[in-house]
């Protein structure tokens, strides 16, 4: 039974990381299109942070070890997205 909860914590952390960092990537890509870009940044951060805190709080209710597992998969998803999406070449902005 514990392995199901561990798997759930792994998947929850990975999905949370995908939503958080994927949302950040979308926000950064769309920021130049909006006149009030600071509003977009603030709203995006508030929604993403609230979601992450809600998921992590749900994990810590069960046990701190499930939170640790979710956090590890959250950060692993960050690394995966960083390797897949790559770094943007900003040199063309200044030319």
Give the pLDDT confidence of 12-34 residue by residue, as tens digits. 999 999 999 999 999 988 888 88
Tens digits of residue pLDDT in 45-87:
999 999 999 999 998 998 899 999 999 999 999 999 988 887 6
Q: Which residue range(s) make up the domain with 9?
A: 2-83
DSSP state of 6: H
Q: Is residue 92 part of a domain?
A: no
Q: Looking at the 3D structure of the chain, how many domains does it have?
A: 1
Instruction: Kindly tell me if the per-residue pLDDT of 5 is higher than 80.
Output: yes
39 part of a folded domain: yes
pTM given for the model: 0.83
Nearest to 40 by CA among 48, 88, 50: 48
d(CA 14, CA 95): 38
Q: Is residue 63 part of a domain?
A: yes
Task: Answer whether residue 78 is part of any domain.
Answer: yes
d(CA 76, CA 67): 14
Check if the beta carbon of residue 5 is closer than 8 Å to that of residue 62. Answer: yes
């Amino acid at each position: 039974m514990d392995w199901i909860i561990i798997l759930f914590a792994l998947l929850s952390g990975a999905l949370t990381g995908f939503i958080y960092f994927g949302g950040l990537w979308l926000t950064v890509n769309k920021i130049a299109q909006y006149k009030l870009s600071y509003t977009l940044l603030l709203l995006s951060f508030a929604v993403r942070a609230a979601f992450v805190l809600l998921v992590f709080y749900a994990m810590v209710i069960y046990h701190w070890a499930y939170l640790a597992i979710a956090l590890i998969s959250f950060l692993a998803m960050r690394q995966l997205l960083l390797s897949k999406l790559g770094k943007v070449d900003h040199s063309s902005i200044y030319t």
